[in-house]
Chains A and B, each alone.
Chain A
Amino acid sequence: MIVFLIRRTFQSVVVLLIMSLLVFVGVYTIGNPVDILISPEATQQEHEAAVKALGLDRPMWEQYRVFLTNALHGNLGDSFVFNEPALKLILQRMPATLELAFGAMFIAVIFGIPLGMVAGIKHHSWIGRAIMSGSILGFSLPTFWVGLMLIMLFAVIFGWLPASGRGETVLLFGIPVSFLTVDGLSHLILPAINLGLFKLSLTIRLTRAGTQENMQLDYVKFARAKGLSNTRVIGVHVLKNILIPVVTVLGLELGNVIAFAVVTETVFAWPGMGKLIIDSIDVLDRPVIVAYLLITVTMFIIINFTVDVLYSILDPRVRLGDVKS
């Protein structure tokens, strides 16, 4: 376990370093933010002053060194646009995105696992087929279109749920969350469904495949031969086995959901990181873009790490030292 932790931390640092370099160089080579930030009528002096103020006149490696030194001190640079620390800007919006992402995952798991199990057990009946057809829809419809349809249906036509913003938030451990207020929750539902639909389909398919595979195995027949009820065989024996791959895959998908939140956040005007990054890319606000990418990478690393630990808890055959990283 300790060896695992040390190795894993070391790997993470290397990954972060490489990523920071890639991201920095990548972002550095696109466009010149000064052209976008300064009005076209600005004089040559004003232009040079702006370049100097942003540190853009220094060589690239020098900028990277400064960036890295600052980064180690928790300073990822100030936003060109807001004149505030990029890290702070992103961290301010992160809770909204995380809440949306977890909401989406929650929907995917809560509905996906039971539906997938039903589809796996009753795969010959109409209900199994109906679930599978539904999941194909969830896979193939584009997120922004589904988002618009949800708004049209539930916000415009029925007027049941609000279509934009986070609604009322309350502080939970100092972090603003929507889901604890009625107004906030009603704002969260549509975007969470929108973002979760794809993962819901994925969960259904994973669960169904796992259920079908496991139902054929001897341990199920043996469990039934012991006289266990169907509820126990399916709800304990089979479920515990299929949770292993499902949790692993979904855990790894969490990073994906956070990254894909961009589309949903745009459609529902959800004030999260995704919306910030889109705006920042528009004006080439480099520090924000770099900070966003680095934070995303860090989140991926943390998520993967958590999934590995979770996996070893769920599956007694895996000891952490054996986990391939």
Chain B
Amino acid sequence: MTPAAVSSTSSLSTLAVENLRTHFFTKAGVVKAVDDVSFSVGTGEILGLVGESGCGKSITGFSILGLVDPPGKVVDGKILFHGLDLVDLPEEERRRLRGSRIAMIFQDPMMTLNPVLRIDTQMIEAILAHEKIDRALARKRARDALEQVGIASPDERLRAYPHQFSGGMRQRVAIAIAMLNKPDLIIADEPTTALDVTIQAQILFEAQKLCRETGTALIWITHDLTVVAGLADRIAVMYAGRIVEQGQLGDVLDHPLHPYTRGLIGSVPSRNRRGSHLYQIPGMTPALLNLPTGCAFRERCDFADDACLDQPEITEPVPGRPVRCFHHFAGEKA
């Protein structure tokens, strides 16, 4: 069974998000950070969630974990985890899923670990929050997790403080923490953005390996298409709080259906286009506060016309390729 087959039916997916809306009720107005987002991810599958900064990727991740702080709120939709809707689950039950069944890794490794607590404290508490086991046993598991993510002399490193690690090493520690309880799903929110390129490549490789080995589903959030190009099985492209298209990685990269995706791909430097001018999507990411009606990409789109003054709904012109555009490229030869 291919991952695609798994993910096409939400009942079999590890996670299926359906029509999720997360809005922030600010004094200036309602910010629709996540607006009608649907996707799913299955066992051992890696989904790349791609989009410009501020389009709602992190808030999507926090919504799944139940960590959206006021004035933000999940106002609509379903978050089905193994078929169980998390949206209405009591807080205590959500807490029990966090860190044990669903884990998250954050963007800035310099900020995610508590600076005044030792690594062992921060790892052991993550185990003991979910299982009543012996401290010594928890410690051994923490040690093994560090070893698994490639940290040398783990026993010694357990007693260190975060500031004694480099950025790359801290991110490995964060990944080790995320893996501690063998979760079914990891949400990785731009975990390599703050790292330099070699370390980024190592971490990508190892994250991929770990997921394949353990069968963990992985949502890899990034603003950088090149990062997911070497990593993901499927990608979902997000723009202004909405997913505008998704599909198998190769299909989307070879035949983008949405003008925004095409722009993103065009703006990636590549070998066969060396020397020629890089395409850049004109204009700026719109502010999510008081978005104009119609397609949010309208102002920047070369294909916009009067039809685009209405909000495009998701269609599936090609099976397994949902897209949100009136003038998608499904009929064209790319």
Q: Does B251 sit within 8 A of A, measured CB to CB?
A: no
A240 touches B116 (CB 8 A): yes
A222 touches B116 (CB 8 A): no
In Å, the complex CA distance between A222 and B177 comes to: 10
Using Cβ atoms and an 8 Å threshold, which residues of chain A touch B103?
225-226
Give per-residue flags for B98-111: 1 if the beta carbon is below 8 A from chain A beta carbons, else 0: 11100110101001
B177 touches A241 (CB 8 A): no
Give per-residue flags for A242-267: 1 if the beta carbon is below 8 A from chain B beta carbons, else 0: 00100000000000000000000000
B112 touches A218 (CB 8 A): yes
B116 touches A226 (CB 8 A): no
Using Cβ atoms and an 8 Å threshold, which residues of chain B touch A224?
67, 98
In Å, the complex CA distance between A300 and B106 comes to: 44
Q: Which residue of A lies closest to B92 (CB)?
A: A229
Known A-B contacts A221-B67, A240-B117, A241-B116; A227 and B126 likewise in contact (beta carbons under 8 Å): yes
Q: Does B115 sit within 8 A of A, measured CB to CB?
A: yes
In Å, the complex CA distance between A221 and B115 comes to: 14
Known A-B contacts A219-B111, A227-B100; A232 and B116 likewise in contact (beta carbons under 8 Å): no
A225 touches B114 (CB 8 A): no
Q: Does B97 sit within 8 A of A, measured CB to CB?
A: yes
In Å, the complex CA distance between A228 and B96 comes to: 9
In Å, the complex CA distance between A262 and B67 comes to: 51
Using Cβ atoms and an 8 Å threshold, which residues of chain B touch A314?
116
Task: Report which of B98, B106, B125 forms a contact with A232, defined as CB distance below 8 A.
Answer: B125
In Å, the complex CA distance between A127 and B81 comes to: 37
Chain B, 75-111, CB within 8 A of any chain A CB: 95-100, 103-104, 106, 108, 111
Q: What are 27 contact pairs spanning A and B, CB under 8 A? A: A217-B111, A218-B106, A218-B111, A219-B111, A219-B113, A219-B115, A221-B67, A222-B104, A222-B113, A222-B174, A224-B98, A226-B103, A226-B177, A227-B126, A227-B129, A227-B130, A228-B125, A228-B126, A229-B95, A240-B114, A240-B116, A240-B117, A314-B116, A316-B115, A316-B118, A316-B163, A317-B163
B129 touches A229 (CB 8 A): yes
B129 touches A228 (CB 8 A): yes
Within the complex, the shortest CB–CB distance from B179 to chain A, in Å, comes to 12
In Å, the complex CA distance between A316 and B118 comes to: 9
Within the complex, the shortest CB–CB distance from A227 to chain B, in Å, comes to 3
Known A-B contacts A217-B111, A219-B111; A316 and B161 likewise in contact (beta carbons under 8 Å): yes
Q: Does A237 sit within 8 A of B, measured CB to CB?
A: yes
In Å, the complex CA distance between A236 and B116 comes to: 10
Q: Does A223 sit within 8 A of B, measured CB to CB?
A: yes
A227 touches B112 (CB 8 A): no
Tell me the count of chain B residues lying within 8 A, CB to CB, of chain A. Answer: 30
In Å, the complex CA distance between A223 and B163 comes to: 17
Identify the A interface with B (CB < 8 A): 217-219, 221-229, 232, 236-237, 240-241, 244, 314-317
Give per-residue flags for B112-139: 1 if the beta carbon is below 8 A from chain A beta carbons, else 0: 1111111000100110011000000000
A317 touches B161 (CB 8 A): yes
Q: Which residue of A lies closest to B71 (CB)?
A: A124
Identify the B interface with A (CB < 8 A): 62, 65, 67, 95-100, 103-104, 106, 108, 111-118, 122, 125-126, 129-130, 161, 163, 174, 177
A222 touches B112 (CB 8 A): yes
Q: Which residue of A lies closest to B109 (CB)?
A: A218
In Å, the complex CA distance between A232 and B95 comes to: 12
B67 touches A227 (CB 8 A): no
In Å, the complex CA distance between A226 and B96 comes to: 9
Known A-B contacts A226-B126, A232-B129, A241-B114; A221 and B106 likewise in contact (beta carbons under 8 Å): yes
Within the complex, the shortest CB–CB distance from A247 to chain B, in Å, comes to 12
Residue of A224, A227, A240 contacting most chain B CB atoms (<10 Å) = A227
Task: Report which of B62, B95, B115 forms a contact with A241, defined as CB distance below 8 A.
Answer: B115
Using Cβ atoms and an 8 Å threshold, which residues of chain B touch A315?
115-116
In Å, the complex CA distance between A240 and B106 comes to: 22
Using Cβ atoms and an 8 Å threshold, which residues of chain B touch A240?
114, 116-117
Within the complex, the shortest CB–CB distance from B205 to chain A, in Å, comes to 23
In Å, the complex CA distance between A232 and B273 comes to: 53
Rank and list the top 10 A-B pairs by shortest CB-CB distance, nearest first.
A227-B99, A218-B111, A226-B99, A227-B98, A316-B161, A226-B126, A222-B112, A225-B104, A219-B114, A227-B129
Using Cβ atoms and an 8 Å threshold, which residues of chain A touch B67?
221, 224-225
B112 touches A219 (CB 8 A): yes
Using Cβ atoms and an 8 Å threshold, which residues of chain B touch A236?
117, 125
A226 touches B98 (CB 8 A): yes
Residue of B111, B116, B122, B126 contacting most chain A CB atoms (<10 Å) = B116
In Å, the complex CA distance between A227 and B127 comes to: 9
In Å, the complex CA distance between A306 and B180 comes to: 40
In Å, the complex CA distance between A225 and B118 comes to: 18
In Å, the complex CA distance between A218 and B105 comes to: 11
Using Cβ atoms and an 8 Å threshold, which residues of chain A touch B117?
236-237, 240
Within the complex, the shortest CB–CB distance from B321 to chain A, in Å, comes to 32
Within the complex, the shortest CB–CB distance from B258 to chain A, in Å, comes to 31
In Å, the complex CA distance between A317 and B98 comes to: 29
Q: Which residue of B lies closest to A214 (CB)?
A: B114
Using Cβ atoms and an 8 Å threshold, which residues of chain B touch A219?
111-115
B129 touches A226 (CB 8 A): yes
In Å, the complex CA distance between A88 and B52 comes to: 73
